[in-house]
């Protein structure tokens, strides 16, 4: 959450007092003076002190979900079940949402949180967060597709993708099983990339998102809180 909101929740009731606390270095984050009022912080991930007293707050939640096919990445939908519908009542929090999107027919790793600024930062194009997918396509792919992906696929409208890594795991007539890693998130990008090399995606599953890997113990539709080591990985996306 924003630093000024956190300080307001913990006794600094006016904007003037909050500014004074920052200007006099009375607020520290992991031992360093706070930077600015809009700084994104989370006392569950960082050591936040005000006037020498540590601030504790557990209002922010972080979940890893193994998204099933058929659910949509939306806060609400009139016709389809959403990924938030999979949460237990006790885990429903105000402002919780999905970081990034997966198509309705795509399954796999999806992060959920109510830390809005952190989610926006993770999705910012400057971050170039890598995402790896396991895909089945209806064509026999070979080294030529690997080279095309490595050079950066160009779509029919002239849009060029950043270089991507394509690994062919299995191939036969009319079928290939592959892994593909991209570092951007254009609309339907993975499916369009394969169409550019003459293949249609028939199954798609996200395995990784930045430093996070899909927990193999999570059944489709299940979720869990992030582990301490996974929470530590989030720090790089905080301001």
Least Cα distance to 98 among 76, 129, 127, 130 occurs for: 76
Q: How many CB atoms lie within 10 A of CB 3?
A: 22
DSSP characters for 23-79?
HTT-EEETTEE---TT-B--TTTS-EEETTEEE------EEEEEEPTT-BSSS--SS
Residue among 57, 103, 215, 239 flagged as catalytic: 103
Indicate if 103 belongs to the active site: yes
Give strand pairing partners of 209.
Answer: 131, 212
- 3-state class of 223 per DSSP? strand
Catalytic residues: 103
């Amino acid at each position: 959450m924003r630093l000024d909101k956190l300080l307001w929740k913990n006794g600094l009731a006016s904007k003037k007092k909050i500014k004074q606390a920052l200007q006099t270095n009375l607020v520290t984050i992991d031992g360093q003076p706070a930077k600015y009022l809009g700084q994104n912080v989370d006392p569950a991930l960082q050591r936040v002190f005000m006037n020498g007293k540590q601030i504790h707050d557990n209002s922010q939640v972080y979940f890893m979900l193994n998204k099933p096919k058929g659910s949509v990445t939306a806060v609400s939908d009139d016709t389809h079940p959403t990924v938030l519908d999979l949460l237990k009542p006790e885990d429903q929090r105000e402002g919780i949402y999905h970081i990034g999107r997966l198509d309705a027919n795509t399954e796999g790793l999806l992060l959920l949180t109510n830390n809005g600024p952190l989610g926006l930062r993770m999705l910012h194009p400057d971050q170039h967060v890598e995402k790896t997918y396991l895909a089945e396509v209806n064509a026999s792919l070979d080294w030529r597709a690997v080279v095309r992906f490595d050079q950066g696929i160009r779509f029919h409208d002239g849009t060029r993708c950043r270089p991507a890594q394509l690994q062919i795991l299995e191939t036969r007539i009319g079928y290939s099983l592959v892994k593909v890693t991209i570092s951007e998130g254009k609309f339907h990008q993975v499916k369009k990339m394969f169409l550019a090399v003459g293949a249609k995606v028939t199954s798609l599953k996200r395995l990784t998102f930045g430093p996070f890997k899909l927990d193999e113990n999570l059944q489709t539709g299940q979720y869990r809180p992030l582990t301490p080591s996974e929470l530590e990985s989030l720090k790089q996306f905080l301001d």
